Structure formats: structure tokens, C-alpha cells
Structure 1
Amino acid sequence: MNSESQIIRTEYSDLMKKSYIDYAMSVIIARALPDVRDGLKPVQRRTLYDMHELGIRYDKPYRKCARIVGDTMGKYHPHGDSSIYEALVVMAQEFKKGMILVDGHGNFGSIEGDGAAAMRYTEARLTKFTQEVYLSDLDKDVIDFGPNFDETEKEPAVLPVRIPNLLVNGAEGIAVGMATSIPTHNLGEVIDAVKAYMKNDEISTKQLMKYIKGPDFPTGGIVVNKDDLLQIYETGQGKIKVRGKVEAEELKGGKKQLVITEIPYTMIGSGIGKFLNDVAALVESKKASDIVDISNQSSKEGIRIVLELKKGADVENLKNMLYKKTRLEDTFGVNMLAVANGRPETLGLKAIIEHHVDFQFELATRKYKTLLAREEEKREVQEGLIKACDVIDLIIEILRGSKSVKDARECLVNGVTDNIKFKSGISKKMAAMLRFTQRQATAILEMRLYKLIGLEIEALQKEHDQTLKNIARFEDILNNYDSMANLIMEELDSYKKEYGRKRRTAVENAEEAVFEEKKIEEQEVVFMMDRFGYAKTVDVSVYERNKEAADSENKYIVHCMNTGKICMFTDTGRMHQVKVLDLPYGRFRDKGTPIDNVSNYSSSEEQIVMVCDAEQMRFARLLFATRQGMIKRVDGSEFQVAKRTIAATKLQEGDRLLSVCVVNENQNIVMQTKGGYFLRFPAGEVPEKKKGAVGVRGMKLQKKDELEQVYVLEEGTEVKAVYKEKEIALNRLRIAKRDGTGTKARG
């Protein structure tokens, strides 16, 4: 064995545990959660920085998103183009962000859930807000840069964001074992809260909430649980109830219409389509019978969903129904989780502002240290040039007498005159006294002759005076907390003045939405279904008047209550339930609705063998018979279930349910096969089983024969069957035992 190779023995579970924890932390820190300092996830940070590096500023032309995505992926984010483009799109969607960070050009999706166009079609550039508030001072060493994934580029560890972006734009992310969900807030309110904290770092969350009233969603809406917000902002967790904004408008003729102009933030996307479907379902089920028409008139100008109402409709009750039964009132789950000091942490409102302010002081300290160092360099050079102007004749003499730049530099810096020719000894003595710095010497050697003009020397002096003022100012900022704090607050005020806007979301305490459902008047109706599967219900009197036509035109007719359910047994052994109220109720000649539309029944896959009223079935015994001759009795109460579809019986392989009918012990059963065998026996011989049982054999079948019909005979009633055009009186058949071969009919 090679002496350098090693075999490390380790427990497999320990290795898996370590590997999984490493993976989980990578997802948490480097992908899914935002940093508390700049409020950005890595993909967002990298995309914005790349746009900055590419020079796609707010005052420059738009560039193709494909270029931005490709460049970001190649340099900083090697996790696939779709994640980068999705992040770019979201930063450009004003209905998702408190302040958009990217100015999109082209189709960037809509509030109703339409996706953005492919990145080869869309274009983008940074907004002025992003450029000034998120990406300024990158050249002043305000943040740390680290190597990218392949160590060929440098990328920022964090962007120098000047506002608490985590609050302004919120965040959503799913990591491993944790998730973040932070609502958006109003820029002006957040800035006021930051200033209040800077003036008094002992401020409480309750006092901060005098400035930040609550979330400010880009879609507007109303937060209705104001009293819960303090607890949410203190702990960083909780549930915010959000409602859409509904207004009642008067129409001609005393009619009214409800207009939804703002939606809950959670309804962005497919939620609007779902809401319209939910309202339509309420209308169809007669729960919102006051609604006559629904139309979505939303456009680029904003949301406008119109519900036209009947004359005299109860508007308040209808509003409450929409809040209660649809997503017009929804819950936004808050979990303010972010990466703080390199680890995930759930933060309250004050903690987020505290981290932000610490970050601002760090940015300002690094910025003004860099600026101070630059000004001190300038001062050094300026002082050297001013001093040089005073002895310019000597310097010219030194330069003319030098054989090389090195000799001239040595003389200017250290007073070395050995290799230089002077016109006089006085000049040589004066030259030996020169002590310029290296930087000053370089500036003197590079100075152009026009700088010796009187006005230029005067300008140099003024510039020097300004440099001294700047140094004094920067030193004051760096050494005085109040000076730096005032500077940060002035910057914040300028951002509020230029970019602040009015609050969109109202925050209030609203009463729980309560609505009274109209009680349905219970009445007996007749269920009718034709051979094409179209079903409806009519009043009993309507049925009685049209009895002959109804019986001839419909395959199934069942008397039931309008508040009850209809049960349908199919040849696949399933039972489907339909609420009678889900079926259209009206005139005899109405077509009805396909039974497939209101139940789980599929006419293409199964055939109905029996239809009955669920309530009447409760007290009955049901006889089940299959094509292979299996038979059993089941208590009807077993089918009193809430589910829309259940397995009504167990079938053997290749078998189908043939018949389900009500039976009692005093009756006789006749089973008829396709081959013409008839078997009559007492119903009492059929054992009672559970619905999940296969049952017992009712009749011995001949090879390739199968059961075709099952009859239930009442004592003293004559029943005839037809086999090969010959009538057979079933009540005259000999009574035999169950599981017999039966009597062969003569064809």
C-alpha cells in the first residue's frame, strides 16, 4: 500500500448527518435567505451587481435580459439561468415589491398570474433608486469583496444599501427546515422609524410603530387585525389578516354593484382566477343568488372586478360572504427570518432596524476613512506643489543640472546634490536643504509648465484650502457620533423626499366577517335523469302533471328532499353522491346538467346500475349482484358517508357490478343468465355482509355464461321475463336453494 494513502473509518450515519447539515447550511446562507444588512438574497445581489458592472444604469439604454442573465451566471451565480431570470423579473414587478429595483422593458408578467416573456425578448436596466441607494460608493472600499465560485472574479459580500431593504421590499424564501416571509413596508415610514431609533436606541417596538403603522403591500388592501401587529413585530412571527377593498356603486333603476379595486397581497397571480371561480361556484350553489353577473375589468390602470347585484340585494351581507367564503380575506404568515452575523435568525422590527443602523455606521466609517485618506494624499501633493512654486527657480536649476530623473528625485527628497551641476554654491546649499516626500517629488516632476501661471497658483491655493476643510469635516464625521448620525439622517431624508410615496394599505381593527346564509326551504322534489346522463330536479306537482312523458323520457326517477343527496351505484363497484342542491331546479322541459359535471362519476369509464335517495336508503337492505354471480345483502346505513365517492363493494378480478336493489327477507330472488338459466330462491338465504366484502355465490354458472338480470318478487305478484322472445312467468318457477344451477328456459 502507498504510504501516503489513508483509509478513514467512520460511521455512515455520522457522515450522512454532516453532509446533510453542510448542504442545509449552504441552502440557508448562500441561496434562500436574505442578509439582514442589504435585505437581498445572493441571486438578487449578484444580478444587481452584475448590471452595475455592465454599466446598465438608469440613464443608459436597456439591455437584453439574456445578456444580464448569461453574464451573472458565468461570473457569479452558477445555479442555472431560470433562477436568475425569475429573480430579475420579481425585482421589476411593481405589484410584488415595495420599491422596484429593476426597470423592465417588455412583458414582465401581470398581477393576474401571466408569466414574463422569455429573457431573449425582454430588456432591463437599473432604476435610479437602485443606483443611488443600493450601489453608490462601491469605489470607496465600503464593503468587502470575495472571490467568486471559480476565483476568477471578485464579488461583493453585501451591497452598500442605505435603507432597510428587508422591510421595504420584504422577502420570501424556502430553505431547508426553515422559511422566511417578510411583508413589504412604506419607504417613508421605515425611514422615519430608523431616524427615531438613531435618536433614541432605547425606543420600544410600540414606539417604533408610531412611525411604521404596519405592512404596506403594493396591491393595497386592508390589514384588519391591527391589535395583533405589536406582538408580530416584537417576535418576528405571526399572522396578518388582509382584505381586499370592496366598494358599492349605484346603478340606474335602483340596482347596485360591488367593485373590488384592491386585492390581498396573497391573491397575486392565479388567486384572481381562483376568486372568480369561487364566486361563480357560490352563485351556482344558490348561496350568492343576489349576484347577477361577474366581470373582470382589470387593466394596466389597476384592479377592477365587478359583481352586478339584483335589486334590493343585502350588500353588507354579500361583502361578508365574499370575505368568509373566498380569498378576498386571506392570511399572510409572517416569519421574519434573515441571515444576521452569518447565521439564520428570527428578528423583530427593532432588531432589523438595529442591524441596519449598525451597518450604516460601518459603511459611513469605511467611506469617510477612504475619503480622508484620499484628501490627505491630495493635501500632501498640494503642499509640495505650493512649496515648489516658492522655490521654482531652484527646482528648474536642479532639473537642468540633473543627468537622470533618479538624481533629480534624490535631490528633491533627500537633498543629495552630488550628481547635479549648479550655477552657484548658494543654490547647491539650498538644494541640499530640500526634503520633499516621494509623492510630492513625483508630482513636481510631473508638473506642467502652465501650472506656473499666476491664476493657476491661486487656484492651487484655493484647492488646498478646500482640501483642508474636507479633512477637518471628515475627521469630525469619523470622531463624532452625532456628526455621522446627522449625515446618515440627512441622506435618509433626501431618499424619502425623492422616492417616498403615500401608504397604499390601510391598517385597522375590523370586526370578524359574519354573514347569514339564507336558509333553504325544505321541500320534496323529483330527481330525473335521461339516458344521456342529463339530470335535473322539478317540483312534485310538475312531475305529476307530466308523469307519462317524464317516465318515458327518463331512465331514473327518484322522489327526494331538496336538502338531501342522490346516490349512484356503478358497475365498477363505486358509489357516487350528488347534493340535490347542486342540480338545476326548474321547468320540466329544461335540459338539465350532465351528471359528470356535478359528481365524480365518469360516463366514459363506468355505467350506472342504480340511483336512489340517500335518506330512504338508510333504513333499507340492499341486494348486490355481480356478472360472475356473486351476491350479498348490505345494511343501507353503511352508505351514510360524507365523501363524494366510496367503494360500495369489493369485486373479483374481471367482475362487474350488475345490480343493486332494495330487498327484504319475505321476498324471492330470481337470477337470470345470458344462457337462459333461471334460479329462484328466498331472499333470506342471501347472507348479510359488510360493504367491503365480495359476497357469496348466488348461482353456479355454466362455462362462458354470466348473470344478465336479477328480479325481486313480491308474494302474490305476477312478474314476467322475456327470453328469446318467449315470456316466462317468474313467480311460477320452482323455489330452489341458493348456489344452484337453475332451470334452463326453452328458447
Structure 2
Amino acid sequence: MRITMKQEEQIIRTEYSELMQKSYIDYAMSVIISRALPDIRDGLKPVQRRTLYDMYELGIRYDKPYRKSARIVGDTMGKYHPHGDSSIYGALVVLAQDFKMGQTLVDGHGNFGSIEGDGAAAMRYTEARLQKLTQEAFLADLDKDVVDFVPNFDETEKEPEVLPVKVPNLLINGAEGIAVGMTTSIPTHNFGEVIDGVIAYMKNPDINTEQMMQYIPGPDFPTGGVIANKDELTAIYSTGVGKIKIRGKVEVEQVKGGKERLVITEIPYTMIGANIGKFLNDVYSLVETKKTNDIVDITNQSSKEGIRIVIELRKGADAANLENLLYKKTKLEDTFGVNMLAVVDGRPETMGIVPIIRHHVNFQYELAKRKYTTLLAKELEKKEVQEGLIHACDVIDLIIEILRGSANVKMARACLTEGIIEGIAFKSAQSQKDAQSLRFTERQADAILEMRLYKLIGLEIEALMKEHEKTLANIAEYNEILSNRAAMAKVIIRELEAYKKEYGRPRRTVIDNLKEAVVEEKKIEEMDVVFLMDRFGYAKTIDVAAYERNREAADAENRYVLTCKNTDKICIFTNKGQMHLLKVLDLPFGKFRDKGTPIDNLSNYNSSEENFVYITNLGAICNHRLIFGTKTAMLKIVDGSEFDVAKRTTAATKLTDGDEVLFVHPVAGNETIVMQSERDFFLRIAVDTIPEKKKGAVGVRGMRLADGDALTAIHLLGEGESAQTEVKGKPVMLNRLHVAGRDTKGTKK
């Protein structure tokens, strides 16, 4: 009889906050180290490194045919990067985009997106292969044990911990990444300049930032443009943090009729993508809001040949002032936030340009040491074999006699390596004596046993001797490199100069100190206008004379009609207790029959959530007081100057849950108000019994309402003014109601 005992469950009690803290820290470090930030040594994020290594493993070389991107993405995801195909393909696309990379690392074939923000085609349509630079400077020495290999995510494959990159890729191609609690933003630099900077550091490790900037004067963006704050670059490159001001390149072209046009031929690096479309919209807005009257038309004529955005100007326009306006009001001048953050020895660190190059150079020495150690070991093996074969050629008759007299390979190998002659038949005693003195190494014995007879030809022996001399020369060279740091530096510098010669290109971005863009804004001539808003919320302003000519129609067709200054602001009070400000200049000014623009588009007012309660111009209320009344009969008076604010939206009053603003109006203090409830209760009180409060206050109760009752209307009566309303078909004369005390029930009608 077999008895099985159930294992007791073990419950581990732990503090929830401690567990969450540990889990979040683990997650954050995983994002920082394994996804978002580049390594200081090769300047690559893990997804980029794995994609390039997978292409190398698949044999997609620069001189081989292109392969489908879907194949690369699938293989990378299955072997090395289990984070989804979109991140892998996104990285592959960026590596092939010459408008984002200082030096593209992937040669893309097909639609890989455009500078104007068009996305790449699906991975099943595009093809890719490695660039020659990538193959030569990023992946060339992987077979020489120059970097450590680590298990992949499921420990079925090995992947390089870092690629043996021979150029400072972190500076050449820059980096952008958002991790948890930190970001990296490193601009691209000119390939040849960075190489010069590395060589300068290798020759003088004590070089400072200012000296380094003689070789690397600043970023070199693939989109060109102009860096406008040259004097600030030294501080940015010293600390690794700062803001670079970049401008597009604008040219003035003369056209027929004495007119001019502005042509943008280079854009700021930050404008690539959707920001080009935003720039065009911003220019349209400048025209619509009358910030400028000089622009006649704007067209985007950009193509594969480059950027060309043409702005046609009216005759006599001030091109220089308009150019400054574009710098001031659009993305044609922008800032690139620099934060040179990278993973150093497993932890994120912000560095200046000299420390970045120092880490790169140290990495190059490490790569060279491991490379030449591996090459030396191989040459020593070759030397051992070659010396064995040369000696074997000298005693070839004896070796043939040993081989013919041996019963098996084991017996022959024992004789060659240890001089053991037992069981071997020799032709003479001298041969037997000579065989006993043989002491070949195991590797030499294997080479001798595998040697083919044609190697005994005289020319072959001569070739063997020459090869041996070359091997000895290589060993001497590798020993010199490994034992002499100056010799190693010379080799590294020679390689770098070769890369610069083949892949260097002229600088694209101009670096200068430019003055702040100053716009001479034309002074607005103050004038009286009439604000009109129809029942659909469409608003406009017209000339006073136009209103006078069409007064009857304007008053009949519009819900609100106000006379104000064109420099004034319109105040929109809503039932939600908000006040929205709208500049009169933002309203379209035109003819009486023009349609106008919806208030929703010009202010923060939302017609689907709010209703108008009162609309006036700011100038009309600044020196007056406003009375506020709500559905729950809360009343207060507020000084109008409190609404002279800069914010586009501000809380005009404080409301309790479920309450709404019912009434807003200027008062002098000698009026009375009549409150009318849903259950037909009326209460008339003097305005001077209502206290003045701040706009952030709730107010006081004006009428005591029964449960479930609420105000439907509030009427303001001036001194001696008569007014009436209707209740159940009967007229109620409001001015005949008895003036009672505040916070009473009122009279039922």
C-alpha cells in the first residue's frame, strides 16, 4: 500500500509596498539597460545591435542581394529580441534613413519613409542589406574573440554583448531614447570630424573640451540647417547637457515684377516628419490671424533631390522681417535638447564629449588587444605546424619507413611524438635508432600524417619556407603591437584614417552666432467694431458703419451684438461657472454677410458641454460690478476688474455639486432683482442686500427654496423700471412685487 502525502503550502508574508518598489526598480533598470539607452562602447541600443548581428549571421552582406525585411525581423525576434516585430522593424527602418542618421548602417531597398513623415511600407514589401561601413567597422572582427558572447533570452543561441565597433558611433549617429525617469538625446556629428577628434585624443589624452572642439566644432545634422548659438556649445560639450538652437536655411529669390520669395532649402533636424506639415499650417495661421500680410502663397516643392518650401511674397514686402517672423513664430527656429546619456559599465551616465571619446578609445585598445592576442595564437599554431613540416621534409625517408612499418595510425603517431618503436618494422638499425630520437608535437604529428605527397615537390617546399617566414614576421609584428601601446595606437589610427578617407563627407550644418530674431510688428490702429454672434455660435466683427447700414437685419439675425474696440477682449460666461476670454483681433473682420467662425474654434468654449449665460466685452465690465445668480438661488456680486486676467479660461464663480449659473449682469447697486422658481414662487429683493465677494466664492442664499424646487429665471429691474412675465397664461407684473428680505420663501403665483 502506497501513501502519498500532500506537500504543505508555504505562505511567504511580505510588505506590499516593498514588493512593488523592488518590482518597479527591476522593471526600470530593464528598460534603461536593455531597451532604451545605447551602450557607450558601440553606441547602439539592444534592438539595433541584435538586428545588425542577425543580418550578419544571415549573410546579408553589402555585396550580396537584398533580403526581405520580414525575414530579418522574424529571425531577430525568434533568436535575439522577443519584444515584438514593430520595435525591430522600426529600428531597421531608422538605421536606413539618411535624414535621421549621420551614417546609415542599413542599405534599404523600397519605401523606407520620407523626411516629410511618410511611414515606411510594410516589412513584407521592403528589402535590406548591410552597408559596407557596417560590415567593415561594426561586424568585421566578431570571429576573432574580440567581444564576449552571452546567451540569448531562451539560452538556445549566443549573441555579442556589444559589437566591435571601430568608430565612435554614439557621436556619429547620435541617439534618442526615453527610459524610466531619464532620457537620452545625443545629436549626430560629422564622420570625418569625429575621427579627427579620436585621433587627437589618442595623441594627447589630456586634451580638454575647447581643444577637442577644434576638431569637432559641433553637431552636424543630416538635414543641414544652421546652429545659432555657437558660444554655448563649449558648455554643452563639457557637461553633456544643454540646448542647441537650430534654424532652417532660407534664401531670397527675385521673381518677375519686382517681387521676392523666400525659399527654405534646409530645415531644422527637429522639423523632420509631421513637423513639416505643422510648419505649413503655422504659416497659414500667420496669414489668417493677420500677423502678416506679406505672404501671398506657400507651396511645398520638396522631392528626393531635397527640401524646397517656397513662400511667395507680395510686392514691396519686407523679406528680412518676414524671415525673422518665421523664426519667431514657427518651427523654422527650434531647440534641440542635448542630454548625452549612455550606459557605462552597466549603469546610465551623462558625459561630455571628451569622456565619451575616452571610453571609445579604451574600448578600441581592448578590441585590439583581444584581436591581436587571437591572431598571435593562430600564428603560433601555424609556426608550430610549419616547423614540423619543414623538419619532416628533412627526414621524409625515415617518416615513410615508419608509416610503412606501422600496423596502425596510433603506432605511427606514438613513434613520431615519443620515439616509441615497438611493433614497427624498420629496414635498418640506423633507421630504428633515428626513429627513437623523433619528438614531434601532437599538432605537428597530425599535420605530418595528413600531409599529401605533392607537398614534397620542390616548389611546394619553397612555398612552405616563404609562408614560414611570413608567419615569423606576423608573430614579431603582433608581439610588438601587444607589448607596445604606441604601436597599437598606430594601428588603430591607420584604420581610422582609412575609414575617414572612404566614408568622410563635407559638413552639412553651419555653426555660427546669430542674433535673436526680432520682428518689427506693425502697431495696430485702434478702432470701434461691432461684435456679432448668431444663434449657431458663429462670430465675426464688422465696421461700425456697416452695422449702422444693416442694423435691423443684424439685430434680428444675431443673438449677441456688442460694440467694442478691436483691441478689446470678449468675455463669455457659461452655465458651468467658467469665463472664456477671446481676443477681438482673433475674430474674422469682414463684410456683414460673411459667415464668421465658430466660437469653439477661437476659444476654449465647448458648445457640447456648456451654454452661454452672458457675453460682453472686457472693457464694459472692468469698472463695474457683476451680479451672479445660480439655479439653487446662490447670489453674489463680484468686482469686474477680477476678470481682467491673462488666462484664456478662468473660474468665474464657485459652484456646488449639481448647481449651474443662471444669470450674470452688470449692476449699479440701486436695482432690484426678482427670482422665479419652477414652482412659480417669486421673490423680489434689493441688489444692495447682496454682498460683494471674490470670484472664487460660492455666494449667499438669495431665496429659500422648497425641496426639489429650483430657479428658472432671474430678472433685473432698474429703479422705476416696469417688467412682466407670464405664469400659466397669466401676466405677472414684476415691478409690483413687494420688495422682501433676502433668504425668504417669496410669494406663490
TM-score of the two chains, using structure 1 as the length reference: 0.92
SS of 1:458 mapped into structure 2: helix
Inter-CA distance 3–699: structure 2 relative to 1 (3 Å threshold): closer
For residues 636-676 of structure 1, what are the alpha-carbon distances to aligned partners after superposition, in whole Å with 9 as ceiling and x for unaligned?
22322222223333455555433322222323434556777
Match of 1:496 in 2: 500
Matches within 5 A, 1:98-247: 98-247=102-251
Equivalent position to 2:666, from 662, 669, 679? 662
Equivalent position to 2:625, from 609, 621, 628? 621
Overall identity of the aligned pairs, in %: 70
For residues 110-135 of structure 1, what are the alpha-carbon distances to aligned partners after superposition, in whole Å with 9 as ceiling and x for unaligned?
32333334434433222111111100
Rounded to whole Å, the distance in 2 between the matches of 1:383 and 1:5 is 69
| Letter of the 2:505 counterpart | R
Inter-CA distance 708–500: structure 2 relative to 1 (3 Å threshold): same
Match of 1:314 in 2: 318
Match of 1:610 in 2: 614
For residues 243-295 of structure 1, what are the alpha-carbon distances to aligned partners after superposition, in whole Å with 9 as ceiling and x for unaligned?
11122222222222222222222223332233233333332222233223233
Report if the CA contact (8 A) 1:699-1:742 is conserved.
Answer: no
Rounded to whole Å, the distance in 1 between the matches of 2:344 and 2:709 is 77
Equivalent position to 2:48, from 37, 44, 47? 44
Give 1:8 deviation, angstroms.
Answer: 9.3
Larger deviation, residues 678-687 vs 413-422: 678-687
Inter-CA distance 9–731: structure 2 relative to 1 (3 Å threshold): closer
Inter-CA distance 397–275: structure 2 relative to 1 (3 Å threshold): same
Do structure 1's residue 599 and structure 2's residue 593 form an aligned pair?
no
Gap runs ≥5 in structure 2: 1-5
Inter-CA distance 697–374: structure 2 relative to 1 (3 Å threshold): closer
Inter-CA distance 34–701: structure 2 relative to 1 (3 Å threshold): closer
Inter-CA distance 15–596: structure 2 relative to 1 (3 Å threshold): closer
Report if the CA contact (8 A) 1:379-1:464 is conserved.
Answer: yes
Rounded to whole Å, the distance in 2 between the matches of 1:200 and 1:368 is 24
Rounded to whole Å, the distance in 2 between the matches of 1:626 and 1:14 is 50
Give 1:222 deviation, angstroms.
Answer: 1.0
Give 1:426 deviation, angstroms.
Answer: 2.7
Rounded to whole Å, the distance in 2 between the matches of 1:578 and 1:452 is 100
Rounded to whole Å, the distance in 2 between the matches of 1:4 and 1:200 is 68
| Letter of the 2:462 counterpart | E
Rounded to whole Å, the distance in 2 between the matches of 1:730 and 1:57 is 93
Larger deviation, residues 54-63 vs 25-34: 25-34
Do structure 1's residue 301 and structure 2's residue 305 form an aligned pair?
yes
Give 1:165 deviation, angstroms.
Answer: 0.9
Inter-CA distance 5–381: structure 2 relative to 1 (3 Å threshold): farther
Matches within 5 A, 1:265-280: 265-280=269-284
| Letter of the 2:442 counterpart | Q
Do structure 1's residue 458 and structure 2's residue 471 form an aligned pair?
no
After superposition, the CA RMSD in angstroms is 3.1
Match of 1:683 in 2: 687
Matches within 5 A, 1:542-691: 542-627=546-631, 629-651=633-655, 655-671=659-675, 680-691=684-695
Inter-CA distance 650–11: structure 2 relative to 1 (3 Å threshold): closer
Larger deviation, residues 110-119 vs 716-725: 716-725
SS of 1:384 mapped into structure 2: helix
Matches within 5 A, 1:224-373: 224-373=228-377
Give 1:523 deviation, angstroms.
Answer: 1.6
| Letter of the 1:513 counterpart | A
| Letter of the 1:154 counterpart | K
Inter-CA distance 482–618: structure 2 relative to 1 (3 Å threshold): same
Inter-CA distance 728–3: structure 2 relative to 1 (3 Å threshold): closer
Rounded to whole Å, the distance in 2 between the matches of 1:562 and 1:476 is 84
Give 1:691 deviation, angstroms.
Answer: 3.4
Match of 1:432 in 2: 436
Rounded to whole Å, the distance in 2 between the matches of 1:730 and 1:338 is 77
SS of 2:590 mapped into structure 1: coil
Inter-CA distance 441–281: structure 2 relative to 1 (3 Å threshold): same
Inter-CA distance 661–351: structure 2 relative to 1 (3 Å threshold): closer
Inter-CA distance 407–282: structure 2 relative to 1 (3 Å threshold): same
| Letter of the 1:216 counterpart | D
Rounded to whole Å, the distance in 2 between the matches of 1:516 and 1:334 is 31
Equivalent position to 1:61, from 51, 58, 65? 65
Match of 1:421 in 2: 425
Give 1:709 deviation, angstroms.
Answer: 4.6
Report if the CA contact (8 A) 1:244-1:329 is conserved.
Answer: yes
For residues 700-736 of structure 1, what are the alpha-carbon distances to aligned partners after superposition, in whole Å with 9 as ceiling and x for unaligned?
6789876555443344555565677777665455555
Larger deviation, residues 430-439 vs 520-529: 430-439
Do structure 1's residue 712 and structure 2's residue 728 form an aligned pair?
no
Rounded to whole Å, the distance in 2 between the matches of 1:19 and 1:499 is 46
Report if the CA contact (8 A) 1:137-1:160 is conserved.
Answer: yes
| Letter of the 1:322 counterpart | L
Larger deviation, residues 718-727 vs 407-416: 718-727
Rounded to whole Å, the distance in 2 between the matches of 1:362 and 1:333 is 32
Rounded to whole Å, the distance in 1 between the matches of 2:199 and 2:330 is 40
Rounded to whole Å, the distance in 2 between the matches of 1:339 and 1:630 is 61
SS of 2:224 mapped into structure 1: coil
Rounded to whole Å, the distance in 2 between the matches of 1:237 and 1:509 is 19
Equivalent position to 2:529, from 525, 528, 550? 525
Larger deviation, residues 535-544 vs 660-669: 660-669
For residues 533-563 of structure 1, what are the alpha-carbon distances to aligned partners after superposition, in whole Å with 9 as ceiling and x for unaligned?
2211122222223222222222211111111
Rounded to whole Å, the distance in 2 between the matches of 1:427 and 1:700 is 133
| Letter of the 2:383 counterpart | R
Rounded to whole Å, the distance in 2 between the matches of 1:189 and 1:67 is 36
Do structure 1's residue 384 and structure 2's residue 388 form an aligned pair?
yes
Rounded to whole Å, the distance in 1 between the matches of 2:323 and 2:40 is 40
Give 1:71 deviation, angstroms.
Answer: 2.6
Rounded to whole Å, the distance in 1 between the matches of 2:709 and 2:346 is 77
Rounded to whole Å, the distance in 1 between the matches of 2:37 and 2:706 is 72
Report if the CA contact (8 A) 1:680-1:742 is conserved.
Answer: no
SS of 1:339 mapped into structure 2: strand
Larger deviation, residues 532-541 vs 300-309: 300-309
Larger deviation, residues 617-626 vs 507-516: 617-626
Rounded to whole Å, the distance in 1 between the matches of 2:8 and 2:488 is 58
Larger deviation, residues 82-91 vs 49-58: 82-91
For residues 420-465 of structure 1, what are the alpha-carbon distances to aligned partners after superposition, in whole Å with 9 as ceiling and x for unaligned?
1122223223323333222221111111122223332333233223
Rounded to whole Å, the distance in 2 between the matches of 1:377 and 1:705 is 103
| Letter of the 2:291 counterpart | K
Give 1:583 deviation, angstroms.
Answer: 0.3
Rounded to whole Å, the distance in 2 between the matches of 1:547 and 1:171 is 64
Report if the CA contact (8 A) 1:681-1:736 is conserved.
Answer: yes
SS of 2:516 mapped into structure 1: coil
SS of 2:154 mapped into structure 1: coil
Larger deviation, residues 531-540 vs 63-72: 63-72
SS of 1:35 mapped into structure 2: coil
SS of 1:684 mapped into structure 2: helix
Give the number of aligned pairs.
Answer: 744
Do structure 1's residue 485 and structure 2's residue 485 form an aligned pair?
no
Do structure 1's residue 399 and structure 2's residue 403 form an aligned pair?
yes
For residues 212-259 of structure 1, what are the alpha-carbon distances to aligned partners after superposition, in whole Å with 9 as ceiling and x for unaligned?
121111111111111122222222222221111122222222222222
Rounded to whole Å, the distance in 2 between the matches of 1:373 and 1:628 is 93
Inter-CA distance 28–535: structure 2 relative to 1 (3 Å threshold): closer
TM-score of the two chains, using structure 2 as the length reference: 0.91
